[in-house]
Amino acid sequence: METKNIMIVGVGGQGTLLTSRILGGITQDNGYDVKLSEVHGMAQRGGSVVTYVRYGDAVAEPIVEEGQADVLIAFERLEAMRYAHFLKKDGVIVVNDERIDPMPVVIGAADYPENIIEELSAKYTVFSVKAMEEAKKLGNTRTFNIIVLGVAAQHMDFSKEQWLEAIEKKVPPKTIEINKKAFEIGYTC
Amino acid sequence: MSKKVIMLGNEAIARGAYEAGVSVSAAYPGTPSTEISENIVKYDEVYAEWSPNEKVAMEVAIGASMIGKRALASMKHVGVNVAADPLYSVSYIGADGGLVLVAADDPGLYSSQNEQDSRAVARAAKVPVLEPSDSQEAKDFTKFAFELSEKYDTPVMVRTTTRLSHSQGQVELCDRIELEEKPYEKNVAKRVMMPGNAKKRHLHVEDREKRLMEDSCDFEINKVEYKDTSMGFITSGIPYQYVKEAIPNASILKLGLVNPLPKKLIEEFASKVDTVYVIEELDPIIEEQVKSWGIKAIGKEILTVQGEYSANLLRQAILKQEVSIDAAAEVPVRPPILCPGCPHRSTFSVLNKLKIHVAGDIGCYTLGAVAPLNVVETTVCMGSGISTLHGMEKARGSEFIKDWVAVIGDSTFLHTGINSLMNMVYNQSTGTVLILDNSTTGMTGHQDHAATGKTLKGDRTYAIDLVKLCQGIGIDNVQIVNAFDIAALEKAVKEETKKDELAVIIVKAPCALLDKSPVTVQYRINQEKCKKCMQCMKPGCPAITKNPDGSLSINDTMCNGCGLCDQICKFGGIEKVEL
């Protein structure tokens, strides 16, 4: 199998690491070689963060480069736009339709781009979800990234049962049930 | 049956040390090395500690090694500078129990103040260096490092980079090796480095280098893969993966030991391929040696000494391929910022208001250098803020620093800041030092230190009292101020900077991310009372947003109720909400 390239992007603190670890788990359980590459440290403090997940028969390079991603999972609109050029021609963007202002916008030095989802949809296949609103309804805003993962899972190679199993293995034991529910919400939207 | 698991590079290094039977691990947190200690502590058989700095960590490991136990010290690249003093001498002393230093370099400066190459330090100290290229090798090479250390009577450096340390890959687990207890024998000639002894030990070091250079030609970790011989690549570590990805059909000499180099093996490889390329991130350490032997090779003529490499970079530089990629969208940058509720934001908003210049230091609070806070004007290295302020005073007189302070975090203060403060006492400084005490090592992800009352193992211990510590070295003028009481902080800074007396202000409030319990208080904009004066936005809290219609709102998923905005607002435009 040709190596599949997934990117998870967002704002530091949004939980990209947990999502990538679930992805790493499910690919390994399915017998693939897998490499994940993460960002720790200072860049995590509210900065733009990116995690790469590559799986296939034998993976060498641990990063995904421009023009190579099959799926781009974005936890924030502006970050989807920042990394969209990493997608392959037929790649898919799954984006959490939420706005988090970067510091240049907060201090008035830059404007937050309008119509991001529309602009991206003109060029790429885009699936958007208001995951934070859904997570609030579910009663735990921290589950929003699992809702986004649920949307992305519809466009990937594994079965729903495999996803639920992978989630169970990676999330804190107390949050298994609520995260499974969150996944279902995303998987059915 | 062996078990395969996915492991972070750093986790695999910890596992390798565990399997090698390591007894003692010592470290100071630093990206990208921190997770080595955070993982090794999970093994009950290993004693693991956070030491106050890397020099101490290195010496703790040396002590364990001297009495025959295997020991590990891990640190980021700049930490190796702090540990350089013991490292250079223990190169002479050698190792009884295997002694391994993990040095984590940061090409691309994800979280560092420079981009130095630890291999250069190891070369200067004449210490062997192993460089793994994935998680499996991270584990295997760490184990091998302990064997090598004992066999050649030397400390061994395992060099990793951010991309290896923070990438995950599959690792096959093995059991821990049972080691026999070695009896301790007094050996002054080997362990007391005074001139007469050190002269003799230097001979050992030179002989060791020679032997390793020859023996390593047969080491399994130095691997030759012959395919298309028109191009041959000498490489190691993560760049090996980029060569494999970009030029799968290439002939490769993959070096596992990158210091000293297996000269004969390299000469043989070079003779069998048409064009030799040396692919290494950062400095041309391998390349310059290879060229000095008269081998024609291509390296930094076409490749950079800065940042990380990638397969695309090699495709362009070596294969001259046009890599066509879409242009990136032009969007506002998103640099790292202080978190909502961060006590440093409160402190810096006061310093900004008072137009105070700041001699800064290493930690999250370095972010006080950027907009909108813009108060930190210097950052050199761990502990440097206090001493640079002292230098300024001695150069220009005490009047010059009347609108200056030094800021330093609690962990950084105990790392090396305390030395600088002693110097201020000794040499009669009149400066003002702010210790930003957030009760943790923040930027690296919340590690305990000597003033938190908890060890790496999670045991309770004595918490060094920063007030008593400052008083103990002779500073009478020490006070504690709550970081979120901006009126009190303003008063303290104004008064202390005016005085002709050394002052320490401990600005205290825990890191906003330390308390993981649900938020019980938040703030909202009262749209009727809000004058839209934007004063509350000045400190740059990411939870406050200006809406397209000019009104403000506070994001209820981000606000953690610190109340800084409420203290700043003069119109009652911000109200407290109990949740």
* Best of A63, A93, A145 to mutate (most B CBs within 10 Å, chain B): A63
Residue A171: C-alpha distances to residues A36, A176, B226 (Å): 17, 6, 45
A39, A46, A102 ranked by CB distance to B332: nearest: A102
Kindly tell me the sign of the dihedral angle through the C-alpha atoms of B526, B531, B536, B541.
Answer: positive
**Which residues from B are below 8 Å from A17, CB to CB?**
none
C-beta of residue A91 within 8 angstroms of C-beta of residue A125: yes
Q: Does residue A22 belong to the interface with chain B, where contact is any CB pair within 8 Å? A: no
d(C-alpha A114, C-alpha A185), whole Å: 27
pLDDT at A188 over 90: yes
**Closest residue of B to A83, CA-based?**
B328
Residue type for A59, please?
A: V
What is this model's ipTM?
0.95
Residues 6+ apart with CB under 8 A from B382: B53, B78, B82, B361, B362, B412, B415, B416, B417
According to DSSP, residue B339 is labeled P
Q: Does residue A105 belong to the interface with chain B, where contact is any CB pair within 8 Å? A: yes
> Is the Cβ pair A61, B311 closer than 8 Å?
yes
Q: Which residues numbered 150-179 in A keep a CB inside 8 Å of some CB on B? A: none
d(C-alpha B566, C-alpha B536), whole Å: 8
For residue A14, what pLDDT is reported? 87
> Is the Cβ pair B337, A46 closer than 8 Å?
yes
d(C-alpha B14, C-alpha B26), whole Å: 12
Classified as helix, coil or strand, B74 is: strand
> Is the Cβ pair B537, A79 closer than 8 Å?
no
Kindly tell me the sign of the dihedral angle through the C-alpha atoms of B5, B10, B16, B19.
Answer: negative
Residue carrying structure tokens 């702090």: B82
Q: Structure pTM?
A: 0.97
For residue B306, what pLDDT is reported? 98
For residue B1, what pLDDT is reported? 43
Rg (CA), chain B: 27
Question: In chain A, where are the structural domains located?
Answer: 4-103+113-187
B329, B444, B542 ranked by CB distance to A84: nearest: B329
According to DSSP, residue A98 is labeled -
Number of C-beta neighbours around residue B430 at 10 A: 19
C-beta of residue B440 within 8 angstroms of C-beta of residue B452: yes
C-beta of residue B503 within 8 angstroms of C-beta of residue B562: no
- Tell which wins on pLDDT, A161 or A189: A161
d(C-alpha B356, C-alpha B400), whole Å: 12
For residue A15, what pLDDT is reported? 83
> Is the Cβ pair B6, A34 closer than 8 Å?
yes
* Best of B331, B376, B544, B557 to mutate (most A CBs within 10 Å, chain A): B331
- Sketch out chain B's domains with CATH numbers: 3-215 (3.40.50.970), 223-329 (3.40.50.920), 343-508 (3.40.50.970), 521-578 (3.30.70.20)
For residue B323, what pLDDT is reported? 82
A34, A60, A104 ranked by CB distance to B332: nearest: A104
**Which residues from B are below 8 Å from A106, CB to CB?**
372, 537, 540-542, 544-546
d(C-alpha B253, C-alpha B240), whole Å: 9
Q: Which CATH architecture has domain A4-103+113-187?
A: 3-Layer(aba) Sandwich (3.40)
Number of C-beta neighbours around residue B92 at 10 A: 21
Q: How confident is the model at residue A177 (pLDDT cuts 50, 70, 90)?
A: very high
Mean pLDDT per 10-residue section of chain B, whose length is 579 residues: 85 98 98 97 98 98 98 98 98 98 96 96 98 98 98 98 97 97 96 98 98 98 98 98 97 98 98 98 98 98 98 96 88 94 97 98 96 97 98 98 98 98 98 98 95 98 98 98 98 98 98 90 97 94 90 92 96 96
- Which residues, in sequence order, are bridge partners of residue B3? B173
> Is the Cβ pair B444, A100 closer than 8 Å?
no
pLDDT at A43 over 80: no
Number of C-beta neighbours around residue B45 at 10 A: 9
> Is the Cβ pair B333, A11 closer than 8 Å?
no
For residue A42, what pLDDT is reported? 65
> Is the Cβ pair B557, A45 closer than 8 Å?
no
Count the helix, strand and coil residues of chain A and give each as a percent rounded to the nearest 5: 45, 25, 30
**Which residues from A are below 8 Å from B110, CB to CB?**
39-43
